[in-house]
Structure 1
Amino acid sequence: MGAKAQLSSRLTRLSPSQLAQRKPVPRQTEMGRRRRPIAMLALALGGFGIGTTEFVSMGLLNIIADDFGISEAQAGHIVTSYALGVVVGAPLITTLTGRVPRRRLIIILMAAFVIGNAMSVIAQGYGMLLVARFIAGLPHGAYFAVANLIAASMADPGKRGQAIARISLGLATATVIGVPVAQWIGQQLGWNSAYALVAVIGLLSFAGLWHSMPHMTLMPMTRPSTEIGALVNPQVLLSLAAGAIGFGGMFCVYTYISWTMTERAGFPENLMWFVLMVYGIGMVVGNWIGGRFADINVDGAVVGSLVTMVVMLVLFFFGSTVAPLAILLFGLLSVGGGVLTVNMQTRFMDVAGEAQNLAAAMNQSAFNIANAAGAAVGGAVIDAGFNYSYPALAGAALAVGGLVVFVPTMLLRRRHVDRAASSPVMS
């Protein structure tokens, strides 16, 4: 019997579990050139699903409000509930799972994401939906934290910012494709069908991660005590504050964009998907630009993005009654948001020292504190009797607040770096 026939005979006698053992998951240092882009695509697909579920709620709030018979401000709490899940889950999960292998953790987080969105599909009441959205938000921040660190670990030298931007591209692309499609499906088949689409996307990401993600042997394990060190790092805390306040300006407008466009600009409700798509294109462009800036000057990019957001928000206040102009300004606002997302993520990783996992999650915490705060501030403005243009002015004030916090933070770090560089080296 020839060697090939002998091998075939042996394989037929092996059970499926024994066959699986013949193809072990490779280590990070052993993964082939074809496996890396598949793993990165699976990570980005998870970000695509998360971005879709996070943003689509905002475009469906009016439908959800009508279905449950609640006010606009109460509907905004659905967005807030998801954001609070992110804020709680991001630091808690990343702190307690520092010793869990990264491959295993990223797969578990995506499974939890699928479960949370499946619960949103079957929610029968307002209270149950609030709970489901909170649960869906819990793995959000930890997923992006781990995914970005995996991407940075896989990146070629000098390309870390661009690798992180590829993961963020999943989130940005969601605003171009995922959110408009889910919004359309939600309008045609009911709001819960949008969450069903998200659950399916999550399952596809789960399958891709299971198949392609290697053992991340170059990523060191950490202890909770090490991760908690980020919470006493002034640069981490001040960056968190700057991001949470500055990002909030964008969500003052985004949360209530459906009402602004339909009631102030007279834009047809059935074309809201186009408004969200323009916003998404701006996010993709900002993400691409931000990835390049992150490899050149992170702090300068953060300042530039916040200034851009201030200008666009003020202009949106004046132009929100003219539909084409409002859509254009909304898209330009998202460019600033895309640049800010990537560069704040990179900055957290730069200033965190050994507490990389928790610091990477801090960007998601900042983003979703901003989400909750922006929705709350915008809702308060509307409840006070102002029309739907006025949340943009409140948003501009928040973006200015982000600059007020960040600029001294940036200068303080620069002074510290310069002082360390000029200090004599002890022999």
Structure 2
Amino acid sequence: MSRTYVDPASITPARVRLSLFALAIGAFGIGTTEFVAMGLLPDIARDLLPDVYATNPELANSHAGWMITLYALGVVIGAPTIAAGVARFSRKTVLFWLAVAFTVGTLATAVLPSFGWILAARFLAGLPHGAYFGIAALVAARLMGPEKRGRGITLVMTGLTVSNVIGVPLATSIGQSMGWRAAFLLVAGIFALTAVAVALVIPRVKGNSEQTLRRELTVFKRPQVWFAIGIGAIGFGGFFAVYSYLAPLGTDVAGIDPAHIPWLLATMGLGMTIGTLAAGHFVDRSVRRTLYGYFLMMVVVLIGLYFAAGWAPSLFIFIFLVGFASSGIGPAVQTRLMDVAGDAQSIAAALNHSAMNIGNAVGAFLGGLVIGAQLGYRAPIWVGLALTIAGILIVMASYRAQRHLAPHERV
């Protein structure tokens, strides 16, 4: 990779599009590796926990959900520490090595022999997640310019949502027919392709050569940063409480054939993709209205999902709506964090994914808890509703607290 830095303003529109596409490939891989376990939980549980599955399938599925929780915890820990530590390096170099790390971690998940080792591999595979998205968001925002930064961020995150239309259903189908390990081998290949694409097309954009780990960590002194983290960590947990157990909700509640679960996942992903693309325009107009609008939509949709989950056609409709309603929260929180973080942009951009994956861990854990308590596969929907309402309350508290700031400090 060249050592010559490039002025983003001098890059041609075609190179910008190629760069955004390369970043989106990585997001596609991340979305696939993060969410594919959700569609394969019964397969993973049967293979890695056969004794438990034979006597109590619900308990085995909830234990297999630890793969989701451990990956999410890896994101939570890795996002701020890696992003803060690499803030002064070339964005391209950092993105390349993060893609390599993803490849190694996902490959380890596919080949390690026991449940304990696989849990460790999932934790390690999660470490580069937030840093990749954070750095990719900064690169996209610089390439698109300040007036279109929301659209730049959402174009990268579209790779994440498209993964739920194509990557997750495809990997789930492969996992069901060839074994769940084959699905993770496919994802490792996507990350290897990402590393090549980053090396070939991403311009060499400077990091902040004067930035230090200590300076980046000062972001945690800002109350509005904590509010934004809370919005993602609690509010977005409502989505993961439902998504983590979507496969058994479809098979055991709606009576869907397991072979059709990839179509249910694709329906969720289609809703997420459309919602994300719409959110980019809304975020550029008003982050505040975007947060309120998507959260309130999520409340209505989750209530509808509870009553619609018993019939396959209505489940598909409401799963699409859940995907749409949830998808605007991520770009809005991402932009909010970048607005309130001051100079600590690298760690702020990554903290969004720490927040989201705290939500992932909390949602998956609480959802598994109510399932393990024999409350059924609809019970995580009420968990999701409670977390979503809590997210709305945190948004309200954040903007109420902002009123006490000086006018020039408000965003």
Contact 2:5 2:205 in 1 (8 A): no
- Taking the aligned partners of 2:219 and 2:212, their CA distance within structure 1 comes to 12
- Taking the aligned partners of 1:293 and 1:33, their CA distance within structure 2 comes to 23
| Matched residue, 2:77 | 88
- Taking the aligned partners of 1:98 and 1:157, their CA distance within structure 2 comes to 20
- Taking the aligned partners of 1:97 and 1:125, their CA distance within structure 2 comes to 33
- Taking the aligned partners of 1:58 and 1:288, their CA distance within structure 2 comes to 24
Contact 2:87 2:207 in 1 (8 A): no
Structure 1 residue aligned with 2:373, among 375, 384, 391?
A: 384
RMSD: 1.6
| Matched residue, 2:186 | 197
Contact 1:25 1:214 in 2 (8 A): no
Task: For residues 180-237 of structure 1, give each alpha carbon's deviation from its aligned partner in whole angstroms, at most 9, with x where no partner exists.
Answer: 1001111111101111111111111111110112221376652112211111110011
| Matched residue, 1:233 | 222
Cα deviation, residue 157, structure 1? 4.1
| Residues 2-401 of structure 1: pairs in structure 2 closer than 5 A | 27-29=6-8, 30-68=10-48, 69=50, 70=52, 71-217=60-206, 221-401=210-390
- Taking the aligned partners of 2:3 and 2:78, their CA distance within structure 1 comes to 31
Cα deviation, residue 82, structure 1? 0.5
Alpha-carbon distance change, 169 to 53 in structure 1, aligned in 2, over 3 angstroms: same
Name structure 1 gaps, 5 residues minimum. Answer: 1-19, 422-427
Q: What amino acid sits opposite 1:113 in the alignment?
A: F
Q: What amino acid sits opposite 1:390 in the alignment?
A: A
- Taking the aligned partners of 1:237 and 1:411, their CA distance within structure 2 comes to 14
* Aligned residue pairs, count: 400
Matched residue SS, 1:398: helix
Indicate the larger mover: 96-105 or 350-359.
Answer: 96-105
- Taking the aligned partners of 2:374 and 2:344, their CA distance within structure 1 comes to 45
**Which runs of 4 or more aligned residues in structure 1 lie more than 6 Å from their structure 2 counterparts after TM superposition?**
none
Contact 1:117 1:196 in 2 (8 A): yes
Cα deviation, residue 156, structure 1? 3.1
- Taking the aligned partners of 1:420 and 1:98, their CA distance within structure 2 comes to 24
Contact 1:98 1:221 in 2 (8 A): no
Cα deviation, residue 420, structure 1? 6.0
Q: What amino acid sits opposite 1:27 in the alignment?
A: V
TM-score (norm 1): 0.90
- Taking the aligned partners of 1:344 and 1:33, their CA distance within structure 2 comes to 27
Contact 1:248 1:371 in 2 (8 A): yes
| Matched residue, 2:57 | none
TM-score (norm 2): 0.94
Work out the percentage of aligned pairs sharing the same amino acid.
Answer: 38
Name structure 2 gaps, 5 residues minimum. Answer: 53-59
Matched residue SS, 2:387: helix
Contact 1:153 1:218 in 2 (8 A): no
